[in-house]
């Protein structure tokens, strides 16, 4: 072989072997690459360290584009789906409409359960360090976008439901309470901080994101346009009992609110949640330059905050001047609020007591505040008490809601007889507790008023229940959460309970999910809960189904009683 030939062929072969892949995987020495390196430093500036408990991140443009694509994909699919459901609904008769609503409601509940589970999994991965702060924030943003579409779709289901008779819905197996409860479950993804993350990661706003992990995860987002949001969430401590008094819990909640801005927080609503063992407080903020709102959950046994959402935003030019309409704050400063209890209220404005203010409990004026802004009142023997004060252009309102342990115990027995008959009433009661950020539930309520006669009749029945038969309404709330028998609570998180139906159960204790709990259905052991406290089971084809759970020394049970077709017909 001639040397010349050998070299020439070698060169040719080297070209064949090396050219194509080399062209595809090129060096990075280009203008663009240099630009990239600099931008990487700028756009992803972070002081994150996996060993640290706190990290600040900013959404980079690439992450924003990725999120925009994911969220838009979900929104487009949802639009198609909704359009399809609407087409079916428009063409269907009453019975088919009810079935469609039931089916759609069930689908959305499962989807919501999946999103909540994804959020939990992401949080767990972030807490154990397998997910970075930036990836966690982006993940929550995408889930928040998906939760928003599910939440909107649920609202549309509820709007359609009021146009169909209650009997048809019941026959179709529509679980209105569970659908309404789903909105509540989605709040971890539709709350202020999650929405703020979505805005950051879809480039709607830019700003700083700070995420802290330790005993729970705290997310703080501050956008360049002045909006601030803070959230904190961790498993609920305590055993579900109430040791801490409501006014002490309220003080704890108030102490957690931001105080670095001029203005005043006012308690708008206080609830005692016996089925979960915690207090829920809702506040609004009014200041000369900012407005805001917050919701704080305080554990009833330990008095610790385990869920916190706060949002502050610049006051719009159109907003009323706060100086002329400062809200009055009503606080319980002495006594434990309860039906029939005697408590001392104090009315303040920007921290100063307000004397000579008429205090209205229910629809009656019960007295006037003294020089210290105080008035001792006896609360009516109701489970919801509205207290209002008015002083010129200033006013204030405090809503108290309670349910005592005795009711819970009696409810448990009653619920087995009536839970399937009046499930819609639960929806009404629970929907009042769950807020929709964009007021869509309010629209829903308003739309109920203008619906057809059947819808009006249902609404009337529901209002009657709310106002006159709270005990029964509370009973219905036990459909999804049962705590009276045993200290383990059993919830149905997806699927509609019915004979031969497949549902996913969730077992919790004091708000914490219980893994490896043994689940028994009608005396037969069917399995154990997974790491998320869940187990999917198929109900026997019986009218009565008893679920029992056991974990260590704790146990709980829950009974389901299903109507036969004959009784349905009678009801209808």
**Site mask for other proteins (CB under 8 A), range 175-204, x = bound:** ---------------------------xxx
What's the rounded Cα separation, in Å, for the pair 340 and 338? 6
What's the rounded Cα separation, in Å, for the pair 126 and 50? 9
Of 295, 387, 382, nearest to 346 by C-alpha is 387
User: Of these, 83, 95, 130, 342, which contacts other proteins (CB under 8 A)?
Assistant: 83
What 3-state DSSP class applies to 75? Answer: helix
User: Of these, 48, 54, 56, 66, which contacts other proteins (CB under 8 A)?
Assistant: 66
Contact 335, 344 (CB under 8 A): yes
Contact 359, 352 (CB under 8 A): no
Residue 9 binds to other proteins (criterion: CB under 8 A): yes
Residue 47 binds to other proteins (criterion: CB under 8 A): no
Q: Kindly identify the residues of this chain, within the stretch 131-150, that bind other proteins according to CB under 8 A.
A: 134
Looking at 81-89, 276-284, 434-442, 443-451, which segment touches other proteins (CB under 8 A)? 81-89
Of 535, 562, 557, nearest to 546 by C-alpha is 557
Residue 50 binds to other proteins (criterion: CB under 8 A): no
What's the rounded Cα separation, in Å, for the pair 463 and 454? 14
Contact 209, 126 (CB under 8 A): no
Residue 45 binds to other proteins (criterion: CB under 8 A): no
Residue 368 binds to other proteins (criterion: CB under 8 A): no
Residue 121 binds to other proteins (criterion: CB under 8 A): no
Residue 532 binds to other proteins (criterion: CB under 8 A): no
> To the nearest whole angstrom, how small is the minimum distance from the Cβ of residue 64 to other proteins?
5
What's the rounded Cα separation, in Å, for the pair 512 and 532? 10
Residue 432 binds to other proteins (criterion: CB under 8 A): no
User: Of these, 23, 260, 392, 393, which contacts other proteins (CB under 8 A)?
Assistant: 23
> To the nearest whole angstrom, how small is the minimum distance from the Cβ of residue 534 to other proteins?
26
Site size for other proteins (CB under 8 A):
66
Residue 32 binds to other proteins (criterion: CB under 8 A): yes
Residue 75 binds to other proteins (criterion: CB under 8 A): yes
What's the rounded Cα separation, in Å, for the pair 136 and 116? 14
Residue 26 binds to other proteins (criterion: CB under 8 A): yes
Residue 93 binds to other proteins (criterion: CB under 8 A): no
Relative to beta strand 394-401, strand 264-273 is parallel
Positive/negative CA dihedral, 495, 172, 100, 449: negative
Of 537, 438, 444, nearest to 162 by C-alpha is 444
Q: Which residues bind other proteins (CB under 8 A)?
A: 2-5, 7-9, 11-16, 18-20, 22-33, 35-37, 39-40, 42-44, 60-66, 68-73, 75-77, 79-81, 83-88, 134, 202-204, 206
């Amino acid at each position: 072989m001639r040397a010349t030939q050998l070299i020439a062929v070698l060169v040719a072969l080297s070209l064949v072997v090396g050219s194509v892949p080399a062209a595809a995987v090129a060096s990075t020495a280009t203008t663009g690459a240099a630009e990239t390196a600099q931008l990487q430093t700028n756009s992803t500036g972070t002081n994150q360290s996996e060993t640290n408990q706190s990290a600040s991140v900013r959404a980079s443009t690439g992450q924003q584009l990725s999120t925009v694509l994911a969220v838009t994909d979900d929104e487009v699919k949802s639009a198609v789906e909704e359009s399809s459901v609407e087409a079916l609904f428009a063409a269907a008769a009453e019975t088919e409409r009810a079935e469609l609503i039931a089916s759609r409601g069930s689908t959305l509940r499962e989807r919501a359960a999946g999103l909540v589970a994804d959020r939990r999994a992401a949080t767990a991965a972030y807490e154990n360090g397998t997910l970075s702060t930036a990836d966690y924030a982006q993940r929550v943003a995408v889930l928040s976008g998906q939760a928003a579409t599910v939440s909107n779709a649920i609202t549309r289901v509820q709007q359609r439901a009021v146009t169909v008779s209650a009997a048809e819905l019941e026959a179709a197996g529509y679980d209105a309470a569970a659908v309404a409860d789903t909105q509540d479950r989605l709040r971890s993804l539709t709350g202020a901080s999650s929405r703020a993350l979505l805005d950051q990661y879809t480039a709607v706003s830019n700003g700083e994101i700070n995420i802290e992990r330790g005993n729970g995860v705290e997310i703080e987002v501050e956008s360049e346009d002045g909006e601030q949001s803070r959230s904190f969430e961790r498993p609920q401590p305590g055993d579900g009992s109430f040791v801490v008094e409501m006014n002490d819990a309220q003080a704890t909640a108030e102490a957690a609110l931001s105080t670095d801005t001029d203005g005043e927080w006012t308690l708008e609503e206080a609830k005692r949640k016996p089925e979960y063992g915690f207090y829920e407080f809702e506040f609004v903020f009014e200041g000369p330059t900012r407005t805001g709102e917050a919701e704080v959950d305080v554990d009833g046994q330990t008095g610790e905050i385990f869920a916190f959402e706060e949002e502050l935003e610049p006051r719009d030019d159109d907003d009323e001047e706060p100086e002329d309409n400062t809200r009055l704050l009503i606080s319980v400063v002495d006594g434990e609020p309860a039906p029939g209890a005697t408590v001392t209220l104090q009315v303040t404005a920007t921290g100063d007591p307000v004397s000579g203010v008429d205090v209205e409990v229910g629809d009656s004026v019960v007295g006037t505040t003294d020089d210290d802004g105080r008035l001792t009142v006896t609360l009516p023997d109701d489970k919801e008490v509205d207290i209002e004060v008015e002083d010129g252009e200033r006013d204030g309102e405090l809503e108290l809601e309670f349910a005592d342990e005795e009711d819970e115990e009696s409810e448990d027995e009653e619920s087995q007889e009536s839970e399937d008959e009046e499930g819609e009433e639960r929806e009404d009661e629970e929907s009042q507790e769950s807020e929709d950020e964009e007021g869509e539930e309010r629209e829903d309520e308003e739309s109920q008023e203008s619906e057809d006669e059947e819808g009006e009749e249902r609404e009337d029945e529901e209002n009657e229940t709310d106002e006159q038969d709270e005990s029964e309404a509370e009973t219905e709330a036990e459909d999804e959460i049962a705590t009276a028998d045993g200290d383990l609570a059993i919830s149905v998180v997806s699927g509609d309970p019915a004979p031969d139906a497949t549902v996913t159960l969730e077992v919790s204790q004091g708000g914490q999910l219980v893994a490896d709990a043994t689940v028994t259905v009608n005396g037969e052991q069917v399995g154990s809960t997974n790491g998320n406290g869940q187990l999917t089971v198929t109900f026997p084809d019986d009218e009565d189904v008893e679920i029992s759970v056991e974990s260590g020394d704790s146990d709980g049970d829950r009974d389901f009683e299903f109507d036969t077709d004959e009784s349905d017909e009678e009801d209808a």
